[in-house]
């Protein structure tokens, strides 16, 4: 059934509809009508239904198309469903997926519709940074469109910073000095976890030290036992030994830890803003965030980790052209303004009108020449290697010690994987 209007999101949806109201009653820029059609949409992000609902309200008005939403909460069940659907007559018109090796697998089987022309138009219109295109490129073509974008930054509790006279660090040394100040005052500087996101500080330290080495790991051109990687792990170990991190086994949601002051800072994706808002923390008053300074001050650009995931169209979907029309609209300022504010996050579209001033500033700056965007480790790393790495990083933060056995275990899996790729 098509997504319908919900009173719980009426305020945000109404503001988005104001942006969409152009071109006459019941008809928007894309020739919509008062009786919209629907596009089937499948996702493993069932919890995001209210946010997709808001954007569907906008697209119904502007584009004449709404989303027929089907959400899964279990990722493995969802992946199995999507793969099975390609063998049926009801191939998915729009569905969320993953970049990297998992997208390459679908393309190799000729299952996904190319979106090269859509990408070129969006780049020409200034609706997406050209650099993002490579993450959706397989061979010479682009596939799918970006569902979202998030940048990984450092969130902090403004009350704790003010209490201890700490200003937003601009260099890595300043960040470490802030951590020392907090430890001396009996505070815990950083959030840490041994569940899923155990890779976060590995990616931060390596990307901020040697971005080329960081990228080479994802392609098998570097080894996890290379000295540069070992040095990063030893730096991480020293931070753990210095008491910089909270209990990695604490399953209290990070937004609640920051609110309670259990931790002073959280290295996280910008989607944390929406989660902080949900626990009544106010941006600019209760919390702020800053770009995490490079560990190596001599890098020419500021390393900035980003993540993005795709919305794809099955090549043989019955209503493929309609689905691709919706995918094209998804790039626009109108769509991304509605989506970013519904999510409480940034957008890949630098023209999106984001309500949160700090997020809006980051959204603009991230597309400039001063930043080097690096794909999040979770997406950049082939799945078999990632699975082992997450286990090893989790063990490392739980019981810090010599990092070499962990790195050797990851490298053994990496060698096995890359040897099978020819």
> What are 317-353's pLDDT values in tens digits?
999 999 999 999 999 999 999 999 998 899 999 899 9
Indicate if 144 and 200 belong to the same structural domain.
no
Q: What are the C-alpha distances in Å from 99 to residues 214, 262, 307, 382?
A: 17, 34, 10, 10
What would the pLDDT profile of 93-109 be if each residue is shown by its tens digit?
999 998 888 899 999 99
Residue 14 has pLDDT above 50, yes or no: no
Instruction: Note whether 214 and 316 are same-domain residues.
Output: no
Phi/psi zone of residue 255: left (φ > 0), alpha (ψ -120 to 50 degrees), beta?
Answer: alpha
Q: Is residue 227 one of the residues assigned to a domain?
A: yes
Among 331, 366, 387, identify where a domain stops.
331
15 and 133 in a common domain:
yes
Q: What is the band of 29 on the pLDDT scale with cuts at 50, 70, 90?
A: very low
Residue-level pLDDT at 349: 92
Q: How many domains does the chain have?
A: 2
What is the reported pLDDT for 17? 33
DSSP state of 283: B
pLDDT of the residue at 36: 60
For residue 340, tell me if it sits in a domain: no
* Angstrom distance (rounded) from CA 403 to CA 154: 25
Indicate if 227 and 183 belong to the same structural domain.
Answer: yes
Q: What is the DSSP letter of 39?
A: E
Q: Are residues 160 and 75 in the same domain?
A: no
> Higher-confidence residue: 28 or 182?
182
The pLDDT of residue 177 is above 90: yes
Residue 130: what pLDDT? 87
Q: CB within 8 A of 197, min separation 6: which ones?
A: none
274 pLDDT exceeds 60? yes
Residue 162 in any domain: the answer is yes
* E strand or H helix that includes residue 205: helix 200-209
Residue-wise pLDDT tens digits, 207-252: 999 999 999 999 999 999 999 999 999 999 999 999 999 999 999 9
Verify that 276 and 143 share a domain, yes or no.
no
Instruction: Indicate whether 258 and 403 sit together in one domain.
Output: yes
DSSP secondary structure of 47-75: GGHHHHHHHHHHHHHHTSEEEEEEE-S-H
Q: How far is CA 379 from CA 102, 293, 298, 375, in A?
A: 9, 22, 27, 7
**Same domain membership, residue 58 and residue 112:** yes
**pLDDT tens, residue by residue, 111-154:** 999 999 999 999 999 999 888 899 999 999 999 999 998 999 99
Q: In 3-state terms, what secondary structure has residue 288?
A: strand
Question: What contacts 24+ positions apart, CB below 8 Å, involve 79-83?
Answer: 79/44, 81/42, 82/42
228 lies in the same domain as 320: no
Strand 37-43 versus strand 65-71 pairing type: parallel
CATH of residue 188's domain is: 3.40.190.10
Mean pLDDT of the chain: 90
Length of the chain measured in residues: 422
Determine, yes or no, domain membership for 369. Answer: no
Q: Within 261-319, where are the H helices?
A: 272-278
131 and 163 fall within a common domain: no
Confidence bin at 26 (pLDDT 50/70/90): very low
Is 88 inside a domain boundary? Answer: yes
Range of weakest confidence among 8-22, 274-288, 373-387: 8-22
Evaluate if residue 38 carries a pLDDT over 60.
yes
pLDDT of residue 250: 96
Quick one: three-class SS letters along 326-353? HHHHHCCHHHHHHHHHHHCCCCCCCCCC
Q: SS3 of 271, please?
A: coil
* 387 in any annotated domain: yes
Rounded to 5°, the CA angle 151-153-154 comes to: 160
* One domain for residues 89 and 182: no
Look up residue 83 and give its DSSP letter: H
Instruction: Evaluate if residue 271 carries a pLDDT over 70.
Output: yes
Does a structural domain hold residue 367? no
Interior/surface letters 222-242, b for 16+ CB within 10 angstroms, e for the rest: bbbebebbeebbebbbebbee
Q: Is residue 243 part of a domain?
A: yes
Whether the per-residue pLDDT at 5 is higher than 90: the answer is no
CA 145/CA 133 separation, integer angstroms: 9
286 plus 324 within the same structural domain: no
Structural domain range at position 161: 150-305+375-420
Give whole-number Cα distances, 347 to 79, 98, 286, 335, in Å.
25, 18, 23, 10
């Amino acid at each position: 059934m098509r997504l319908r209007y919900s009173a719980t999101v009426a305020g945000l949806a109404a503001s988005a509809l104001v942006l969409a109201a152009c071109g006459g009653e019941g008809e928007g820029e894309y020739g919509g009508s008062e009786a919209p059609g629907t596009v089937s949409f499948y996702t493993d992000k069932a919890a995001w239904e209210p946010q997709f609902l808001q954007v569907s309200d906008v697209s119904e008005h502007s584009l004449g198309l709404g989303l027929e939403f089907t959400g899964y909460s279990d990722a493995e069940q969802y992946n199995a469903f999507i793969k099975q659907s390609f063998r049926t007559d009801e191939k998915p018109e729009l569905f969320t997926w993953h970049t990297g090796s998992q997208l390459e697998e679908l393309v190799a089987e000729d299952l996904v519709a190319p979106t090269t022309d859509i990408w070129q138009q969006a780049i020409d219109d200034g609706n997406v940074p050209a650099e993002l295109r490579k993450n959706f490129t397989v061979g010479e073509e682009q596939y799918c469109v970006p569902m979202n974008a998030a940048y990984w930054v450092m969130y902090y509790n403004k009350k704790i910073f003010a209490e201890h006279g700490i200003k937003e660090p601009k260099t890595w040394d300043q960040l470490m000095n802030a951590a020392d100040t907090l430890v001396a005052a009996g505070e815990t500087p950083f959030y840490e976890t041994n569940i899923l996101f155990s890779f976060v500080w590995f990616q931060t330290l390596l990307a901020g030290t040697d971005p080329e080495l960081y990228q080479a790991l994802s392609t098998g051109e570097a080894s996890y036992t290379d000295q540069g990687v070992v040095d990063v792990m030893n730096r991480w170990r020293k931070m753990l030994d210095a008491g910089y991190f909270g209990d990695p086994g604490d399953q209290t949601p990070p937004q609640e830890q920051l609110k309670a002051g259990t931790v002073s800072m959280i290295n996280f994706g910008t989607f944390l803003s929406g989660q902080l808002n949900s626990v009544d923390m106010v941006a600019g008053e209760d919390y702020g965030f800053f770009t995490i300074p490079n560990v190596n001050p001599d890098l020419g650009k500021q390393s900035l980790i980003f993540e993005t995931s795709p919305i794809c169209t099955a090549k043989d979907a019955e209503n493929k052209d309609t689905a691709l029309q919706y995918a094209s609209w998804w790039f626009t300022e109108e769509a991304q303004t509605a989506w970013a504010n519904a999510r409480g996050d940034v957008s890949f579209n630098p023209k999106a009108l984001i309500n949160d001033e700090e997020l809006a500033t980051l959204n603009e700056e991230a597309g400039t020449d001063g930043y080097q965007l690096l794909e999040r480790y979770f997406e950049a790393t082939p799945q078999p290697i990632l699975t082992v790495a997450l286990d090893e990083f989790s063990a490392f933060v739980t019981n810090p010690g010599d990092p070499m056995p962990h790195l050797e275990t990851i490298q053994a899996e990496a060698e096995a994987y890359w040897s099978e790729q020819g």
